[in-house]
């Protein structure tokens, strides 16, 4: 059983990818494997690295149980990966939405800054004109005071 646990912990290089198994059904796959085993013809792939060195040492029922357990584990891993992909897609969509909102806010703030800069320039010019006018009037007052004295 420790060998079986070690085998279940191994990573398979030929794990089904979601795109490869659009019509995948766990029950259908198990039924097909059981049917082949009932006919007495073991699949060719039992000699590969899925069940190394123990494929011939255990009975058919134990082999079926092992393969069913392995299949469930692989299916759970696939489900977890699909779930993670969906979460990442949702997170991606949220981040895209936030980015769009931030870009709109940036554009709005840039327009506000531009408007405020033009108003600042306008008020600077008005202030300079008022200062010139004030200086002119002060000089006039000084000249009129001299005339009065």
Report the chain's mean pLDDT, rounded to a whole number: 79
* CA gyration radius, the chain: 41
Say which residue, 111 or 1, is predicted with more confidence: 111
The predicted-structure confidence for 54-105, as pLDDT tens digits, reads as follows 555 678 888 888 889 999 999 999 999 999 999 999 999 999 999 999 999 9
What pLDDT is attached to residue 40?
67
Q: Where are the domains of the chain?
A: 26-148
Q: Please say if the pLDDT value at position 142 is more than 60.
A: yes
Q: Which of 2-6, 38-42, 97-101 has the lowest mean pLDDT?
A: 2-6
pTM for this one? 0.46
The predicted-structure confidence for 16-35, as pLDDT tens digits, reads as follows 444 444 455 666 777 777 77
Please state the rounded mean pLDDT for residues 41-54. Answer: 53
Return the HEC string of 50-72. Answer: CCCCCCCCCCHHHHHHHHHHHHH
Q: What angle do CA 68, 1, 57 make, to 5 degrees?
A: 80
Cα dihedral value 6, 11, 17, 20, nearest 10 = -70
Return the HEC string of 98-136. Answer: HHHHHHHHHHHHHHHHHHHHHHHHHHHHHHHHHHHHHHH
Q: Please say if the pLDDT value at position 8 is more than 70.
A: no
What pLDDT is attached to residue 136?
94
What pLDDT is attached to residue 73?
93
Q: Please say if the pLDDT value at position 3 is more than 50.
A: no
For residue 2, count other CB atoms closer than 10 A to its CB: 6
If 0-12 CB within 10 Å is exposed, 13-18 middle and 19+ buried, where does residue 142 land?
exposed
What pLDDT is attached to residue 42?
56
């Amino acid at each position: 059983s420790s060998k079986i646990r070690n085998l279940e912990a191994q990573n398979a290089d030929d794990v089904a990818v979601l795109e490869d198994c659009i019509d995948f059904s766990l029950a259908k796959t198990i039924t097909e494997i059981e049917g082949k085993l009932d006919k007495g013809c073991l699949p060719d792939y039992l000699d590969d690295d899925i069940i190394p060195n123990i494929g011939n040492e255990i009975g058919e029922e134990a082999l079926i149980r092992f393969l069913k357990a392995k299949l469930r584990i692989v299916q759970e891993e696939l489900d977890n990966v699909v779930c993670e992909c969906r979460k990442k897609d949702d997170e991606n969509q949220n981040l895209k939405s936030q980015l769009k909102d931030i870009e709109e806010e940036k554009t709005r703030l840039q327009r506000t800054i531009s408007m405020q800069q033009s108003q600042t320039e306008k008020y600077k010019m008005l202030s300079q004109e008022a200062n010139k006018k004030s200086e002119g009037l002060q000089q006039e007052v000084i000249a009129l005071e001299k005339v009065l004295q």
